[in-house]
Amino acid sequence: MVINKKMKRLLCLALVCLMLTPIISFATTDSTDANTENTGDTTVDNNTDVTTDDTTAGNTVTTTTEGTWIDTGKSNASEAATVPEEDVLAEKEFLNLPYYERQAISKEQAIVATSKEDIEGHSYVCSGGGYELYLYEEKMSIIIRDEETGAILRSTLTPTQAVARNYTQTMYDTVTSGVLVQPITYNKDASTSRFGNYATGILTPLKEGYVSTEELKEDGKVVGFTAHINFTEYGFEFDIIVKLTEEGALSWEIPEDTIKETNENYLMADLYVFPLLGYTDRGDRDGYMILPDGNGITIDYDDYFQDGEPKYKTAYLKRVYGSDVGLSGISQTTTLGDTLESSRDFTTSSEEITIPYFGVVHSDTQIAMVGIIEEGEYGGYIHGMINGINRSFENYVSTRFEYRTLYQEFMDNVGSSERWKTSEGRMIGNIKVTYLLTSGEDATYSGLANKLRSHLLNTGIINANEDQEFDVRLDFLGVDKENFMVFRRNVVATTAEDIRDILGQLSELGVTNVLAVYEGWQDDGVYNVPIYEFDADSDVGGNKAIEELISDLEEGGTVSLYLMQDMLTINTSMTSSVYTSINGYTGKTYERYEMYNEVFTTFRYLYPHKSEEYIKDITNDFLDSGIKNAAFSGISDNMFVYIYDKKEYTRQDTMEHYANAIKDSKDNGMSIILESPYMYLWKYTDAYLDFTIGSSMYVYASHEIPFLSSVLKGSLKMYSEYINFEANSTEYFLKLVETGVLPSFLITKESPEVLQYTNSNWNYSSEYDKYEDTIAEYYSKLKEVNDKVQGEYIVNHEKLDSDVSITTYSNGVKVYVNFSDVDVTVDGMTIEAESYSVR
């Protein structure tokens, strides 16, 4: 949708400005999350994280030539008395060793030679796929062991390690328990307070008597265990089913029907299961974490606690499938025209999570895992923790699930009166997380990408796409509106006949295979949303011109034209939204106000069932007109809770309406392509538009990696964001070569100057005459590369110190890309500066 693309362009300009300013921390909290209100006996803390305490207050911090060590002193943890003092002293001595001595010892401790014997108090459970599973029941702590090498992945610290770090009780509980829950407390006597009856409770670990387990068997063989969890003080009960498969995958799931809440004073809020699985300390190990920022980033296991201060102030915490406007309050507008929507994401400016994965790679012991949320992802977060934050030692990445959250219910239209509230029911159903394990030479991000691709194909999340022929995506902008006296008039940028002429000229230049997308074809232009019928604007030629164009292109067989429509947004200046726009849990109708737009400033969102209804209507209208190609935006990358007819609906309800609508269109014979689709829609789309080939460029990233593109290449066709607006076109072109992502251009017949008084005035470069040669050049060069790897998977990727990347495909073809400004010799051949070679 053009509205979203405008925001992307503006944010890119802002990011360029920010790059000129020193970045101190990875992220900031938003206005809701940063608030902690103290009201007598009630504390409202909507920004609680796993690690919230200053863990070394009062400790002596000494900087030496070997780095930073901490004189941990006396532990605050209540279990300190149960840990032998000599063990604690020994652990403290280890913590204060130079880093190179710690590295050698840590690697040695990460390999266990004996098989099927107790490991650090964990008992053997079962084997599968070359791995063993061990359990310490009391703490629900697990260890995974590679049967061949003995390399292990731990999920908790030992009590000795936690005590030696002098962690507070909260921190101690966090790092020594495999399951943590955070309640929302209900105080009926607090109803007179403007903050309401609800408050966030403390994060609570498992304690003695909270858990019992039994073997999980399949065909008479033990494949895992079922844990019965009972947080007795809160009245929370649920089962966790843990399974190790013969394919080398460990999964855990919580069926919704096992959850019970029996204490009226407490409600389930956040849940962590095995949050530290695969953790490391400081820079004591060789390896890295993988986070789903854009195409993927890695964070090396370095010591980020230097000179007595942590390098980073906040953790990576990002909501899966984007922030939730149904939980936000009164909308605010920035100078960029974007809306500040309160969510619980710490990293509010990092790329949205379109697929909920994360990974750890232990290079020194050659064991790695990639986690993927398979059920309940709409209520999940990815949480990456780096040593130094809150003065902690550990690096880990995990999931967090939000059964309920506190939000502000506004009592008037301007937000001056509010109270804290929570949802009536839980916002998540079933939860399932799977960890795919790999070892040896495959213990790399490429090895994990291969594992994840196979898993997504086997589970039907993606389908093997037979159409892998190279083409270029051209988006054509038709009509927008500008103010004229007391009316609005059409501004025509590209007609249907213009598209015919442009495609004909490109064909003469050898550009024959094109995915064409037409935006702003509808009556009254691109911002006349929503639409639910085929009604083309007369200024672009009307229905007849578009029907004839599509029919002629189909006869040619090399160009597919898709009509794009936003199926989420309501332009309140052109369409009534009284009965169709969502009300959030907050009691407010969600509204986005873009004060710097030239013509239209106020937009709302459709109820998901209305989006589904309109998609069915326009699908039928298209089919009646002989049109079988549709492109949808808005619904593909938004998700929210809402209230309809006084009933609460969750993000899962939203997801189901959108999925049903797209599936129904597909089942009726439509070809559907989606803009920036979330993972649950991948099985229904024939193409992924606006694929992000880079990352947000935050300071956390040690390296950008083409992780997601490696997963999807050869299965789902990916098209880049518009090349028109990339500041460094040479580097962007090389990234397309490296990743196999297909190029995209925004094209208009007229100069974008005609759009200067429309909402599309963000478009400053799209005139076809200026891009004709560029399109032909990109097409020729990228097609030559693609023809050698068409239909193949990416099986390996590496980035050399010389700034040369090598992408290896399943047929053995290697693509060398030199991003540096000097010639480089690799594998016996010289690759020119800022160039590439295929062999």
Query: What confidence score (pLDDT) does residue 78 get?
Result: 58
Question: Is pLDDT of 56 > 90?
Answer: no
| Position 766 in a domain | yes
| Average pLDDT rounded to a whole number, residues 465-470 | 83
Query: What confidence score (pLDDT) does residue 806 get?
Result: 98
Query: What confidence score (pLDDT) does residue 465 get?
Result: 73
Lowest average pLDDT, out of 1-10, 34-43, 719-728, goes to: 34-43
Query: What confidence score (pLDDT) does residue 411 get?
Result: 65
Query: What confidence score (pLDDT) does residue 417 get?
Result: 57
| Position 541 in a domain | yes
Q: Final residue of a domain: which of 427, 458, 489?
A: 458
What torsion do the CA atoms of 370, 374, 377, 380 make, to the nearest 10 degrees?
-50
240: nearest Cα among 267, 210, 278, 282: 210
Percentage of residues in the chain having pLDDT higher than 70 = 86
| Position 227 in a domain | yes
Q: What is the pLDDT of residues 99-137, one digit of tens each?
A: 899 999 999 999 999 999 999 999 999 999 999 999 999
Host H or E run for residue 3: helix 2-19
In total, how many domains does the chain have? Answer: 2
| Average pLDDT rounded to a whole number, residues 476-492 | 96
Q: What is the pLDDT of residues 669-709, one digit of tens each?
A: 999 999 999 999 999 999 999 999 999 877 788 999 999 99
**C-alpha to C-alpha distance for 599 and 589, rounded to whole angstroms:** 22
User: Domain check: are 171 and 251 in the same one?
Assistant: yes
Question: Is pLDDT of 243 > 60?
Answer: yes
User: Domain check: are 82 and 152 in the same one?
Assistant: yes
Q: What is the pLDDT of residues 228-239, one digit of tens each?
A: 999 999 999 999
CB 278 within 8 A of CB 385: no
CB 723 within 8 A of CB 779: no
506: nearest Cα among 749, 835, 760: 749
Whole-model pTM?
Answer: 0.90
- Quote the tokens at residue 581: 């726009």
Q: What is the pLDDT of residues 261-319, one digit of tens each?
A: 999 999 999 999 999 999 999 999 999 999 999 999 999 999 998 777 888 888 999 99
Query: What confidence score (pLDDT) does residue 699 get?
Result: 72
Query: What confidence score (pLDDT) does residue 296 get?
Result: 97
Query: What confidence score (pLDDT) does residue 496 get?
Result: 98
User: Domain check: are 709 and 732 in the same one?
Assistant: yes
588: nearest Cα among 329, 796, 806, 813: 329
Question: Is pLDDT of 340 > 50?
Answer: no
Query: Where in the sequence is the domain holding 666, given as residue range(s)?
Result: 472-568+606-788
Question: Is pLDDT of 30 > 50?
Answer: no
User: Domain check: are 418 and 502 in the same one?
Assistant: no
Query: What confidence score (pLDDT) does residue 391 get?
Result: 84
Q: Is 311 helix (H, G, I), strand (E, B) or coil?
A: coil
Query: What confidence score (pLDDT) does residue 52 get?
Result: 34
CATH code for the domain of 773 = 3.20.20.80
User: Domain check: are 483 and 453 in the same one?
Assistant: no
| Position 80 in a domain | yes
Question: Is pLDDT of 28 > 80?
Answer: no
| Position 737 in a domain | yes
| Average pLDDT rounded to a whole number, residues 61-87 | 54
Query: What confidence score (pLDDT) does residue 696 get?
Result: 86
Query: What confidence score (pLDDT) does residue 802 get?
Result: 96
Question: Is pLDDT of 31 > 50?
Answer: no
Query: What confidence score (pLDDT) does residue 259 get?
Result: 98
- Summary count for the chain: helices (H), strands (E): 13, 54
Query: What confidence score (pLDDT) does residue 345 get?
Result: 54
590: nearest Cα among 336, 318, 342: 342
Residue type at position 543? N
Average pLDDT for the chain: 88
Beta strands in 159-274 (DSSP E): 179-186, 198-200, 204-205, 211-218, 221-231, 236-244, 249-254, 260-261, 266-273
530: nearest Cα among 468, 587, 605: 605
User: Domain check: are 454 and 373 in the same one?
Assistant: yes
- Quote the tokens at residue 345: 């994401």
| Position 757 in a domain | yes
Confidence band (pLDDT; 50, 70, 90) for 525? very high
CB 457 within 8 A of CB 499: no
Lowest average pLDDT, out of 56-60, 151-155, 379-383, goes to: 56-60
Q: What is the pLDDT of residues 561-590, one digit of tens each?
A: 999 999 999 999 999 998 999 999 988 899
| Position 172 in a domain | yes
Q: What is the pLDDT of residues 631-681, one digit of tens each?
A: 999 999 999 999 999 999 999 999 999 999 999 999 999 999 999 999 999
**C-alpha to C-alpha distance for 92 and 110, rounded to whole angstroms:** 18
Lowest average pLDDT, out of 15-19, 444-448, 541-545, goes to: 15-19
CATH code for the domain of 220 = 2.70.98.10
Query: What confidence score (pLDDT) does residue 438 get?
Result: 98
User: Domain check: are 420 and 518 in the same one?
Assistant: no
**C-alpha to C-alpha distance for 252 and 240, rounded to whole angstroms:** 6
Question: Is pLDDT of 356 > 90?
Answer: yes
User: Domain check: are 639 and 546 in the same one?
Assistant: yes
| Average pLDDT rounded to a whole number, residues 516-542 | 97
Q: What is the pLDDT of residues 808-834, one digit of tens each?
A: 999 999 999 999 999 999 999 999 999
Query: What confidence score (pLDDT) does residue 347 get?
Result: 58
Query: What confidence score (pLDDT) does residue 197 get?
Result: 86
Query: What confidence score (pLDDT) does residue 188 get?
Result: 80
Give CA separation, 164 vs 73, 87, 96, 275, in Å: 8, 9, 11, 20
Confidence band (pLDDT; 50, 70, 90) for 337? very low
User: Domain check: are 361 and 496 in the same one?
Assistant: no
Write out 395-425 in H/E/C secondary structure: EEEEEEEECCCEEEEECCCCCCCEEEEECCC
Q: What is the pLDDT of residues 163-174, one digit of tens each?
A: 999 998 888 988
User: Domain check: are 477 and 453 in the same one?
Assistant: no
Query: What confidence score (pLDDT) does residue 18 get?
Result: 37
User: Domain check: are 440 and 518 in the same one?
Assistant: no
Q: Final residue of a domain: which of 401, 427, 458?
A: 458
| Average pLDDT rounded to a whole number, residues 369-395 | 95
User: Domain check: are 429 and 502 in the same one?
Assistant: no
Confidence band (pLDDT; 50, 70, 90) for 80? low
Lowest average pLDDT, out of 137-141, 330-334, 537-541, 741-745, goes to: 330-334
Q: Final residue of a domain: which of 788, 806, 825?
A: 788
Give CA separation, 461 vs 234, 296, 443, 452, in Å: 37, 19, 24, 11
| Position 190 in a domain | yes
315: nearest Cα among 414, 366, 388: 388
**C-alpha to C-alpha distance for 807 and 445, rounded to whole angstroms:** 13
Confidence band (pLDDT; 50, 70, 90) for 612? very high
Query: What confidence score (pLDDT) does residue 81 get?
Result: 56
Question: Is pLDDT of 600 > 50?
Answer: yes
Query: What confidence score (pLDDT) does residue 500 get?
Result: 98
